[in-house]
């Protein structure tokens, strides 16, 4: 009997998957599945023969030279997980506005659009007047192109303006958000779901130290994580976000779609609630080596989709 095929889609930067995913092929073999690994934009790959294709280390999709071709590729793959319609909207952080419309709290954000053609003075007036703030492009992966700045320091503020100009002149929407002190105190929480079920959670240490900035879309942020059990309140936060995600899915695709994987990043608002930082449905790091059950849960979830 021929084994079913699952192809793990990656990028040229990670031709053998990233370190966190490298145990996944063996886990799939143990479940009677033939794993393959292929670079998403390799012209020699026949995606019609790839079986179910699972998005993994496609970290370069947000680069300006790749973005349009990646979206076109995702629509061409016969059996892609997550679904191409999900990839389309999740690739641009404007989706956070849609999540907010479904009642999910979001960090107050100023959106700077290229078509506004803002001058440096106009950018200056749109930055916070005090405290630290973050400037980042709406299309990015792994924290690339993100910087943290200090409002009251003239040099830092000038760097922030130059950062915004860098992105805007390249046709990218820019997001400006106040930096939350709760991130320094408590870090971020990532909740990871497979086939709609919570698998595990990790706490992430702060990544943006006060002097960090990078307009280089090649440079990703290093994450320091530790696994922990989410509280009941955090679990409820995750369910609230998941409900909103499926609201956006139904609004976009005119039907509900089961997500193979879903990572929800939240941060405390300091008042007993939370803010949604990000929903990762494309190249999400799933922290498969962070806890004993994570790799098993993901391999089982893929097997469920293969043998349904």
Domain assignment of residue 307, yes or no: no
Show the tokens assigned to 91: 């690739």
| CATH code where residue 66 lies | 3.40.50
Q: Are residues 50 and 84 in the same domain?
A: yes
Domain assignment of residue 285, yes or no: yes
Domain assignment of residue 164, given as a range: 109-178
pLDDT digits (tens, 9 = 90+) for 19-42: 999 999 999 999 999 999 999 999
Total tally of structural domains belonging to the chain: 3
pTM, two decimals, is 0.91
Domain assignment of residue 158, yes or no: yes
Average pLDDT of the segment spanning 221-249: 90
Q: Are residues 10 and 82 in the same domain?
A: yes
pLDDT digits (tens, 9 = 90+) for 236-282: 999 999 999 999 999 999 999 999 999 999 998 888 889 999 999 99
| Triad 60, 225, 29: Cα angle to 5° | 65
Boundary-marking domain end, from 90, 125, 144: 90
Q: Are residues 174 and 185 in the same domain?
A: no
DSSP code per residue over 14-79: -TT--GGGTTHHHHHHTTT-EEEEEETT-TT--GGGS-EEEE-S-TTTTSTTTHHHHHHHHHH-TT
Q: Are residues 204 and 216 in the same domain?
A: yes
Q: For residues 214 and 219, what is the distance between their CA atoms, to the nearest angstrom?
A: 7
Q: Is the pLDDT of residue 131 over 70?
A: yes
pLDDT digits (tens, 9 = 90+) for 158-173: 999 999 999 999 999 9
Average pLDDT of the segment spanning 185-198: 92
Domain assignment of residue 95, yes or no: no
Lowest mean pLDDT among 95-99, 118-122, 144-148: 144-148
For residue 212, what pLDDT band results from cuts at 50, 70 and 90? very low
Q: Are residues 257 and 173 in the same domain?
A: no
Q: Are residues 40 and 23 in the same domain?
A: yes
Cα-to-chain-centroid distance, residue 135:
17
Average pLDDT of the segment spanning 110-127: 96
Q: Are residues 194 and 285 in the same domain?
A: yes
Average pLDDT of the segment spanning 184-203: 92
Show the tokens assigned to 121: 């003075």
- Residue 283 near residue 60, CB atoms below 8 Å: no
Average pLDDT of the segment spanning 2-27: 96
Domain assignment of residue 101, yes or no: no
Q: Are residues 116 and 210 in the same domain?
A: no
């Amino acid at each position: 009997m021929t084994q079913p095929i699952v192809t793990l889609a990656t990028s040229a930067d990670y031709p053998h998957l990233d370190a966190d995913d490298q145990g996944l092929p063996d886990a799939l073999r143990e479940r009677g599945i033939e794993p393959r690994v292929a670079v998403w934009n390799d012209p020699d790959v026949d995606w019609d023969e790839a079986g179910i294709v699972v998005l993994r280390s496609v970290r370069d999709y947000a680069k300006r030279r790749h973005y349009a071709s990646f979206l076109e590729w995702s629509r061409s793959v016969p059996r892609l997980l997550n679904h191409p319609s999900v990839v389309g909207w999740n690739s641009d952080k404007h989706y956070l506005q849609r999540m907010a419309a479904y009642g999910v709290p979001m960090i107050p954000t100023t959106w700077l659009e290229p078509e506004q053609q803002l001058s440096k003075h106009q950018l200056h007036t749109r930055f916070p007047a005090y405290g630290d703030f973050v400037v980042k492009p709406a299309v990015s992966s792994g924290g690339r192109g993100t910087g943290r700045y200090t409002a009251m320091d003239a040099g830092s503020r000038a760097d922030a303006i130059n950062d915004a100009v860098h992105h805007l002149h390249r046709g990218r929407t820019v997001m400006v958000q106040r930096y939350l002190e709760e991130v320094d105190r408590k870090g971020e929480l990532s909740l990871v779901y497979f086939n709609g079920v919570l698998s595990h959670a990790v706490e992430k240490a702060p990544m943006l130290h006060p002097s960090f900035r990078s307009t280089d879309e090649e440079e990703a942020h290093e994450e320091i994580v530790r696994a922990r059990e989410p509280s009941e309140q955090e679990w409820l936060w995750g369910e609230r976000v998941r409900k909103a995600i499926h609201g956006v899915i139904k609004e976009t695709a005119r039907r509900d779609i089961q997500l193979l994987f879903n990572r929800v990043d939240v941060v405390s608002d300091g008042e007993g609630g939370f803010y949604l930082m990000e929903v990762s449905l494309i190249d999400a790091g799933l922290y498969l080596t962070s806890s004993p059950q994570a790799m098993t849960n993901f391999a089982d979830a893929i097997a469920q989709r293969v043998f349904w």
